[in-house]
A and B are shown apart, each in its own frame.
Chain A
Amino acid sequence: MNLITEAINGDRRAIARVLSGLENRNFSLEQIKVNFPSIFSNQVRENWSSIAITGAPGVGKSCLIDKILIDWSSKGIKTALLAIDPSSPRTGGALLGDRVRITAIDNEKYKDLIYIRSIATRKSSGSAPLIVSDMVEFLSAIGWHRVIIETVGSGQSEVRCAAITDRIVVVEGPARGDGVQAEKAGLLELADAVIVNKSDISGASQHASEIKESFELGLGQTPPIILTSALTGEGIEQASTALLELEDTGRSKKAKWRERLLAEYERKILESDKLDEILEKLAIGSISIKDALKLLGDD
């Protein structure tokens, strides 16, 4: 538990090791809470603490986050970035390359205000979101003002990582034609704000109005829709200020809780002692799926 004390005192390596410990299940957040209740008790939570920035690959999430980190650090806000990439389902390995685009941390003035950690979803899609949620809670408790989760908006575990945060921002780009509308629907449903990036390319503002229109057709409040260009800097200041003050639209509450519930349920199954036995019985056909669910539901 020395490690935890060092992390609380701000030692960066200790922080990194605590996050690994949580990730590898060497210890749990509950154990930290029992041993260090004070850091969790006096958390003043003005506004939100964690935000997910999600969207399709290549829309410019990392470049946008880089610009936001620069803006927030210049305001003295300590921000941690958890960048999530999928693990290969075949080998379990992962190539984590989100740091490549983050230049904010290269600035001597800002580097103590920024912590970046790359996270692979690993093999079980159910546990990644809950581990990320533990990490967010720990980082907030030891004094990181804001935690950004960067995920690719595809695949269950990535969407669920987004769903555990206080706010969700969906990043869109121009030239995302009709063919992808269906895929977008699932993600946009969760959005507390939408950023249409690459406003320097034609079609961005048209796409922004299309999104606005589609929200207005539905029920509830339309979230802020902001045009930015991470390349030219257009709209960045407006976006980073808007995100700091972002209100919960309330629209996504049920959808978020659905994702959280599913994640928690999946973890319950994956961590059950009976799982191996049940899988074996299923494989030889001695029980049915319904029996298996009943067995799992017992505890």
Chain B
Amino acid sequence: MSEPLRIVVAKPGLDGHDRGAKVVARTLRDAGHEVIYTGLRRTAQQIVETVRDEDARFLGLSSLSGAHNHLFPKVCELLVKEGLDDVIVFGGGIIPFEDRDVLFACGMKAIFGPGTPTTEILDFIIKACEVSNAGVGQNGDWHWESSA
């Protein structure tokens, strides 16, 4: 890989638990990527503007509050509305398998639950770069099958 990927890691909504987001940010950093961390309690609009101004290719959303099916689709919608449809979006946190199809339908490409090996996230990043139409608004039918 010639240039490092720029990846925004964000915490949407009212949720103060950022250990997971920090672990993911650290993993991505150690894999040679440039990770922009937004800090806690961001609105969907703030996250989308950060992705836009930082010219990020990937956006990772973390939620442990249970509000993922409200917050994540909102972020995806806004990204598309702002013309950022080629940004690849993934998520993580306490997200039951039965909630995930809704998120994939919004254009998210992976959801990682507790216990996911960090190497799997890196494998996903590599794979997502190869797949065409992996952007949130590009209606591609591929998504990552995560182990947890």
Any B CB within 8 A of the CB of A198? no
Instruction: Mark the stretch among B28-36, B100-108, B111-119 that contacts chain A.
Output: B28-36
Report yes or no: B30 in contact with A91, Cβ–Cβ below 8 A: yes
Question: How many residues in B have their beta carbons less than 8 Å from beta carbons of A?
Answer: 27
- Bound Cα distance from A20 to B36, whole angstroms: 14
Using A93-B28, A120-B4 as known contacts, say yes or no to A19 and B55 having CB atoms under 8 A apart: yes
Report yes or no: A20 in contact with B55, Cβ–Cβ below 8 A: yes
- Bound Cα distance from A13 to B83, whole angstroms: 9
Q: Which residues of B contact A33 (CB under 8 A)?
A: none
Within the complex, the shortest CB–CB distance from B25 to chain A, in Å, comes to: 6
- Bound Cα distance from A97 to B22, whole angstroms: 11
Report yes or no: A94 in contact with B53, Cβ–Cβ below 8 A: no
Report yes or no: B34 in contact with A96, Cβ–Cβ below 8 A: yes
Report yes or no: A91 in contact with B25, Cβ–Cβ below 8 A: no
Any A CB within 8 A of the CB of B54? yes
Any B CB within 8 A of the CB of A17? yes
- Bound Cα distance from A12 to B49, whole angstroms: 9
Q: Which residues of A contact B37 (CB under 8 A)?
A: 95-97, 99-100
Q: From residue 222 to 269 of chain A, which have CB atoms closer than 8 A to chain B?
A: none
Report yes or no: B3 in contact with A24, Cβ–Cβ below 8 A: yes
- Bound Cα distance from A180 to B52, whole angstroms: 39
Report yes or no: B52 in contact with A93, Cβ–Cβ below 8 A: no
Q: Which residues of A contact B4 (CB under 8 A)?
A: 87, 92-94, 120, 122
Report yes or no: B49 in contact with A17, Cβ–Cβ below 8 A: no
- Bound Cα distance from A12 to B54, whole angstroms: 10
Q: From residue 8 to 62 of chain B, which have CB atoms closer than 8 A to chain A?
A: 25-26, 28-39, 46, 49-50, 52-55
Within the complex, the shortest CB–CB distance from B39 to chain A, in Å, comes to: 4
Report yes or no: B32 in contact with A95, Cβ–Cβ below 8 A: no
Identify A99's interface contact among B29, B31, B38, B84, CB under 8 A: B38
Chain A interface residue number, banded: 20 to 34
Main SS class of interface, A: mixed
Any B CB within 8 A of the CB of A145? no
Closest B residue to A122 by beta carbon equals B4
Convert B49-85 into 0s and 1s, putting 1 for each residue whose CB lies closer than 8 angstroms to a CB of A: 1101111000000000000000000000000001110
- Bound Cα distance from A71 to B116, whole angstroms: 45
Q: Which residues of B contact A115 (CB under 8 A)?
A: 53
Within the complex, the shortest CB–CB distance from A155 to chain B, in Å, comes to: 17
Report yes or no: B38 in contact with A12, Cβ–Cβ below 8 A: no
Report yes or no: A96 in contact with B30, Cβ–Cβ below 8 A: no
Within the complex, the shortest CB–CB distance from B74 to chain A, in Å, comes to: 17
Q: A93-B34, A100-B38, A111-B49 are in contact. List 13 more A-B contacts (CB 8 A).
A: A16-B52, A16-B53, A88-B29, A93-B33, A93-B35, A94-B35, A96-B37, A99-B50, A101-B39, A105-B49, A116-B53, A118-B54, A120-B34
B residues whose Cβ falls under 8 Å from a Cβ of A: 3-4, 6, 25-26, 28-39, 46, 49-50, 52-55, 82-84
**Can you spell out 20 A-B residue pairs with CB atoms less than 8 angstroms apart?**
A12-B53, A13-B84, A16-B54, A17-B55, A87-B34, A88-B30, A91-B29, A91-B32, A92-B4, A93-B28, A93-B29, A93-B31, A94-B29, A95-B35, A96-B35, A99-B38, A99-B50, A118-B34, A118-B36, A122-B4
